[in-house]
Chains A and B, each alone.
Chain A
Amino acid sequence: MLIENLIIKDFLSFQGENRIDFPQDKDGGSLVVVLAENSSGKTNLLRSLRFLLYGEIPGAEEPPGTDMSVEARVVHKAAVLRLAQGESVVGYVEATVRKLNRRHRFRREITVTKGTNRWSTEIVLKWTQYGTDGVGEKMDRHPDILRSGNRKLESLVPRALFDYFYFRGEELADRLASKTKGQSLSQALTQQLYSEQWGEAVKTAQAVHNDIQREIDEFNKSNIEYTRAQQDVQLAELKVTAAKEENDKNEERLAEVMAELRAIDDVKIQALKMRDEYRKQAIEWEAARDAVDAARADQQSSENTLRRLAGRYEGAPFLVSALPRATKILQELKERNLLPAPIAPGFIDRQLLKDTCICGTDWTKAMRAAVEQYKEDALSEKISGTLTNLLNWIEQVLPQQIKTLAEDLPIAEQMRSKARAKMAKAERDLANIKKSAPQPDEGNAEELLRRARTLEAEKASLRTKLERARPQIHLLTEQLQEKRQKRDKLVRKGGGKANLRLANELKAAERVLNLATDSQHWLKRAVYQALQESVASLYDPVVMDRTTAHIDKATLLPRIHRNGQLEPNFGGGQGQLVTLAHIIALSTLRRKLAAQLRAQKVMVPEHDDQSFFLDSVFAPTGPNFARTIAKFLPHKAKQMLVLVAGQQWQESVRETLEKEANAFYRFHLHTDVPPTNEADTKVSVHGASIELVSVDSSYSAPFTKIEPLP
C-alpha cells in the first residue's frame, strides 16, 4: 500500500487540519522528511495511522477535572474543552491510498458531543473507492460493503506487521535482537510468508493418506502376505525418507558452511595481510631493539670509562695550587743537602770524634758547629725517602696525571654524549616503530585460518557424502517402487475392486502428500535463501565494521555475525541498519512471493509496494552510522516517511537527506512551556532556519501543527 496523502484533524496532539502529501520523484519514489522536537507528537502520527487502519483508540492525556471516555480523549483537548452543551466536534484521520492501481480514500472520524453530564462519542468509517476514470464511489452508503471496508483497511497492512513497517527504530531493533520479544513478530512473518498454510496443507494431506492407509490395513489385515509386503513398503519408505532427510541436512549444512566460508574469507585475507605485516614489522622491531641494546652497551661503556677517570688520580688537578709552597720547601731542603740525605746521625757522631774532617782538614770550632746544626736538621731516612718520593712525584708523576686527565676526560665526555645521543635516537626509532606498527591480533588470524581449514574439511566431507547419497537414494527409491508394485499386485489379487480403488486413492494421497511436503520444503528454503541474500546485499556493503547480516533459519529474524561468529547483542547503528535491511528485504520478498504463488494458481492475496514510516532511526547511533543510515535510506522503498528529532538533524544526516528528500515537513509544537534546550528546537533546512517550537503563555493546551517546509 502506498499513501498519496494523510490528513489528521483535531486528533491527539494535532490541532486543526494537518496534511502530509507524498510527492513522487521521476522514478515514482517518495522520500518525505518530517522534523520534530521531542514530545511534539512523532509517535502520535503512528497512533493516528493505527486508528485509521484498525480503529484502535490510543490512550490520551487525561484533561484535568473531566470524566471523558477514552474515545473522547483522542480528539484534541482544546477543541473538546471549547464545546458548549449540545455542541459537537469531529476529529478524524484520513488517507488516500493506492493499492494495485486502485485508489481509495478512507476516513475514520470520531464525533464528540457535549451532553449535560458527559461527552458522547460516535466513530464512523468513510470509504470512497475510485474507478480507473478517477470518479469516486462512496462505499459507506452500503452497510455490508462498509464491513468489508474495515477488512479492506486491515488487509492494506496486516495488524501483526504494522509495528514492522511503521516503527520506532530503537524499539524494533531491540525486539528483533531479542529471541523472546521477536517471537510474535517471527510468527507474523511466517504467517505472512504462507509457511503456516503449507504446514496445514501437509498435515491435511498426511491425515487423508493415513485414513486411506488405515482403511486398507483393516481391509487386508487377514492377508498375511499382503501385510508383509506392506511392511516392506513402509520400511522402504522410511529408508527413502531417512536418506532424503539426511541428504537435505547435508545440503543445508553445506550451504551454511559455504556461507560461513564466504563470510570469513575477506576477514581472513585481511588478518593474513596483517599477520605478514606484523611479522615484517617484528623484524624491524627486533633490529631497532638490537640497536637500542647496542647503544645502551656503548653508553654504559662510555659512562664506566668516564666514571673511572673521574676518580682516577684522586683529584690530582686540585693540587696545583699546593705546588708552589710545597716545591719551595722541598727545593730548600735540597739546597741544604738535607734532601736526599742518606747520612745517618751515627755516621756524623763518629766523624766528630775524629781529629780531622772527612776531607782531611782539622776541625775548627765553626766547622763543628755547622756539622752539629746539620745533624740537628737532618731528616730521618724514612722521612727523607717520603719527601724525595714526593719531589719526584711532583716533578714527574703529577704533571703526567694532570695531562692524562686533561686530555682523556673531555674525550670520554664527548664519547658519552655521542653514546647518549645514539641511545636516544635508537629509543626514538623503536618508539616510532612501536607507534606505527600496533600489534595486530595475530591470534585472531590464526583462529580464523584454523576455522577456515575446519570448514574446508567439512565442505569436502559433505560433498563426498552428497555424491554418495544421490545413487543411494536412487537405488532406495527404485527398491521402494518394486516393493510397491509387488504389494499392488497382491492387492489386485486378494482385494478385488474395492481394494484396487483404495490402492489408487492411496497412490493419489501419496502424490498429494509428496507434493505438499516438497512444496513446503521448497518454500521454506526459498524464503530463507531469498531473505538471506537480500538482507546481506543491503547490509554488508554499507557497514564498514566487518560485520555481516544473516537470517536465522528458524525465526527468519536478522542476526549479525562478526568474523563468522554470531554477535549476541547488536544495537545502535548496526541494529538500525540490519532492521532497515530486513524490513525492506521482507516487503519486497512478500510482494514477489505472492506474485509467484498466484502465477502457480495458489490463491493468496496480492501485494503491492509498501510504504514505511521510520521514527528515530538515527537516535542511538554515532555520526558515522547516522551518515551510513542516511545514505542507505533513499531509493530503498517506493515510499518512506522519516521522522527526525531536532537533535538528530546533524550534518551527517542533513547533507544526504536534503539532497534526496522529495518533501520536508515540520511538527510545529505550540506550547506555553519554554523548551529545556533551545538549541535543539531550531534546525536548518536548505540553509533556512526553522523553528520547531513556539512558546506563548496564552496557549491553553499544547498542540502540534504539521506544516510543509519550502
Chain B
Amino acid sequence: MASFALPIDAEPLLAFCARDLNCKDEMLVFDTYAHLAVFCASYGFHLHGTTPPPLATTFVKKPLPIEHHVFDGSDLKEPLFLIALAATGSDSVARDLDKVMQINQNYCAIGARELSKRLDASTKEEFPFVIAQLVSDAATAARK
C-alpha cells in the first residue's frame, strides 16, 4: 500500500504537531504529522521547483509511514497530486500512487531541511511565527 515516510530532516519539526508528545500549546502549528508532511513538501517544491529533487533515503522511525488513505480523509490529497503532476509534467504519474508519494517525500525532505535550519536559528516558541512569516510572504507574493 502506498505510504508517505517522513524524511529524517523533519524529525525536529514533529514537536509542532498536536499529536506529538513534546508539543506544547505555544508550539502547536499542525494538527497531524500528515499536515506537516504536506506543508514540508509544498515548501520544498516552492524552494526547488520542477527540477527532479534528490531521492530521500533516510526516514524517521517514528511515526511510521503515513498510509495514503490518511491523506484522503484529511483533504490533503490534492496538494500531493498537484506537486506530482507539476514535477513530472505528465498525467501518467496520477496512475501510480507510489510514485506520487515518493515524489512528495523527496520534496518534503528539501522543505524539512530548510525549516529545521530556521528552527535552529530561532527558538521553539518563536518558530511558529517564523513559519507564519514565510507563509504570509508567499501568500502576498502569490496575490500579486
* Chain A residues within CB distance 8 Å of chain B: 303-304, 306-311, 314-326, 329-330, 332-333, 379-380, 383, 386-387, 389-390, 393-394, 397-398, 402-403, 405-406, 409-410, 412-413, 416
CA distance A319 to B49 in the complex (A): 10
Most chain B CB within a 10 A radius of its CB, from A318, A333, A413: A318
Other than the given A310-B29, A329-B85, A406-B139, 10 more pairs (CB < 8 A) read A317-B138, A322-B83, A329-B91, A332-B91, A387-B91, A394-B78, A405-B135, A405-B136, A409-B136, A410-B140
Give how many A-B residue pairs fall within 8 Å (CB-CB): 148
Give min CB distance, A398 to chain B, whole Å: 8
Option from B27, B43, B87, B95 in Cβ contact (under 8 Å) with A318: B43
B residues in contact with A410, CB < 8 Å:
136, 140
Q: Is the CB of A321 within 8 A of B45?
A: yes
- In the assembled complex, the Cα of A415 lies from the Cα of B19 at a distance in Å of 27
Top-6 shortest CB links A-B: A322-B86, A318-B46, A315-B42, A317-B138, A310-B132, A409-B136
Measured CB to CB, the nearest residue on chain A to B89 is A325
- Most B-side CB within 10 Å, residue of A303, A306, A314, A333: A314
B50 is an interface residue with CB less than 8 A from chain A: yes
The answer to whether B2 has its CB under 8 Å from any CB of chain A is no
14 A-B residue pairs with Cβ-Cβ distance under 8 Å, sorted by A, are A304-B28, A307-B27, A315-B135, A318-B45, A319-B42, A323-B82, A324-B86, A325-B50, A330-B91, A379-B95, A389-B78, A393-B82, A403-B143, A405-B135
Q: Is the CB of A314 within 8 A of B39?
A: yes
What B residues does A379 contact at CB under 8 A? 91, 94-95
A213-B73 Cα distance, complex, nearest whole Å = 123
- Pick from B45, B46, B77, B135 the residue with the most CB of A within 10 Å: B135
Interchain CB contact under 8 A, A311 and B39: yes
- B25: which A residues are within 8 A, CB to CB? 304
Contacts of A311 on B, CB cut-off 8 Å?
16, 29-31, 35, 39, 128, 131
Contact A314 B35, CB 8 Å, known A322-B83, A416-B129: yes
User: Which of A398, A403, A409 is B132 in contact with, Cβ under 8 Å?
Assistant: A409
Q: In B58-101, which residues have CB < 8 Å from any A CB? A: 76-79, 81-83, 85-87, 89-91, 94-95
Residue B142 at the chain A interface, CB threshold 8 Å: yes
Given the known inter-chain contacts A311-B29, A315-B43, A416-B129, please indicate yes or no for A330 contacting B85, CB distance below 8 A: yes
B129 contact set on A, CB distance < 8 A: 303, 306-307, 310, 413, 416
Verify A390–B78 contact, CB threshold 8 A.
yes
Q: How far is the CA of A308 from the CA of B39 in the complex (A)?
A: 13
Tell whether, in the assembled complex, residue A394 and residue B82 are in contact, meaning their CB atoms are under 8 Å apart.
yes
Given A325-B50, A402-B143, CB of A390 within 8 Å of CB of B132: no
Across the interface, name the chain A residue whose C-beta is closest to B129. A306
Q: Name the A residues within 8 Å of B85 (CB-CB).
A: 322, 325-326, 329-330, 390
Hey, which chain B residues are within 8 Å of A325, CB to CB? 50, 85-86, 89
> Given the complex of chains A and B, what is the CA–CA distance between A386 and B81 in angstroms?
8
Which residues from A are CB-within-8-Å of B95?
A: 379-380, 383
Chain B hits for A330, CB < 8 A:
85, 91
Interface status of B141 (Cβ within 8 A of chain A): yes
Instruction: Give Cα A332–Cα B95 distance, bound, in whole angstroms.
Output: 16
Q: Find B139's partner among A332, A333, A409 (CB 8 Å cutoff).
A: A409
Q: Are the CB atoms of B89 and A329 closer together than 8 Å?
A: yes
With A386-B81, A405-B136 as given contacts, are A326 and B42 in contact (CB-CB < 8 Å)?
no
Task: Give CA–CA (A405, B135) in the complex, Å.
Answer: 8
Tell whether B56 is near chain A: CB-to-CB under 8 Å: no
Least CB distance from B116 to A in Å reads 15
Q: Which of B21-61 contact A (CB under 8 A)?
A: 25-31, 35, 38-40, 42-43, 45-46, 49-50
Q: For the complex, what is the distance from the CA of A309 to the CA of B86, rounded to whole Å?
A: 26
Residues of A within 8 A of B131 (CB): 310-311
Q: Kindly provide the distance from the CB of B48 to the nearest chain A CB, expressed in whole angstroms.
A: 10
Closest to A393 in B: B78
- Give the number of chain B interface residues (Cβ < 8 Å): 47
Is A387 touching B28 in the complex (CB atoms < 8 A)? no
* Residues of chain A within 8 A of B133, CB atoms compared: 413
* Neighbour of A333 across the interface among B50, B91, B111, CB < 8 A: B91
For the complex formed, measure the closest distance between the CB of A318 and the CB atoms of chain B, giving whole angstroms: 4
Question: Chain B's nearest CB lies how many Å from the CB of A526?
Answer: 77
- In the docked arrangement, what's the CA distance between A552 and B82, Å? 98
In the bound complex, how far is the Cα of B31 from the Cα of A329, in angstroms?
32
A317 pairs with B128, CB closer than 8 A: no
Give the residue of B29, B90, B135 whose beta carbon is less than 8 angstroms from that of A317.
Answer: B135
CB contacts (< 8 Å) of B141 on chain A: these are 317, 320
Query: How many Å lie between the Cα of A330 and that of B132 in the bound state?
Result: 31
Contact B39 A320 (CB under 8 A): no
CB distance from B94 to the nearest CB of A (A): 5
Query: With the chains together, A386 CA to B30 CA distance in Å?
Result: 24
Known: A329-B89, A409-B135. A314 touches B38 (CB 8 A): yes
Instruction: Give complex CA distance A99, B8 in Å.
Output: 106
**Whole-angstrom distance between the alpha carbons of A389 and B82 in the complex?**
11
Q: Which residues of A contact B45 (CB under 8 A)?
A: 318-319, 321-322
* A387 contacts across to B, CB distance below 8 A: 81, 91, 94
Knowing A310-B135, A315-B38, A386-B94 are in contact, say whether A406-B86 is a contact too (CB < 8 A): no
Residues of A within 8 A of B82 (CB): 319, 322-323, 326, 390, 393-394
Q: A322-B82, A323-B86, A325-B50 are in contact. Are A317 and B94 (CB under 8 A)?
A: no
In the assembled complex, the Cα of A383 lies from the Cα of B100 at a distance in Å of 12
A387-B91, A409-B139 given as contacts; is B81 within 8 A of A316 (CB)?
A: no
B132-A318 in contact (CB<8A): no
CB–CB B143/A406 < 8 A: yes
- Please, which residues of chain A bring their CB within 8 A of the CB of B90? 329
> Chain B residues with Cβ under 8 A from A309's Cβ?
132, 135
> CB < 8 Å: which of B39, B77, B132, B143 contacts A386?
B77
What is the distance, in angstroms, from B8's C-beta to the closest C-beta of chain A?
20
By CB atoms of chain B within 10 A, which of A309, A310, A386, A409 has the most? Answer: A310
CB distance from B49 to the nearest CB of A (A): 6
Residues of B within 8 A of A405 (CB): 135-136, 139
Q: How far is the CB of B29 from chain A (nearest CB, A)?
A: 4
Chain B residues with Cβ under 8 A from A326's Cβ?
81-82, 85-86
Residue with the greatest number of chain B CB neighbours at <10 A, chosen from A306, A316, A383, A398: A316
Nearest chain A CB to B23 CB, angstrom units = 11
Which has the most chain B C-beta neighbours within 10 Å: A307, A332, A412?
A307
CB pair A320 B138 closer than 8 Å: yes
Per-residue interface assignment for chain B, residues 91 to 135, with 1 indicating a CB less than 8 Å from any chain A CB and 0 otherwise = 100110000000000000001000000000000000011011101
Q: Nearest chain-B residue to A392 (Cβ)?
A: B78
B49→A321 contact, CB < 8 A: yes
CA distance A322 to B90 in the complex (A): 13
Question: Do A308 and B91 form a contact, CB below 8 Å, given A314-B42, A317-B139, A319-B45?
Answer: no
A319-B132 in contact (CB<8A)? no
Chain A residues near B138 (CB-CB < 8 A): 315, 317-318, 320
On chain B, the residues within 8 Å of A320 by CB distance are: 138, 141-142
Complex CA–CA separation, A316 to B139 (angstroms): 8
What's the least CB distance linking A403 to chain B, in Å? 7
Which residues of A have CB within 8 Å of B49?
Answer: 321
* A303 touches which of B16, B26, B30, B139 (Cβ 8 Å): B26
Residue of B nearest to A404 (CB): B139
In the assembled complex, which residues on chain B have CB atoms less than 8 Å from the CB atom of A304? Answer: 25, 28
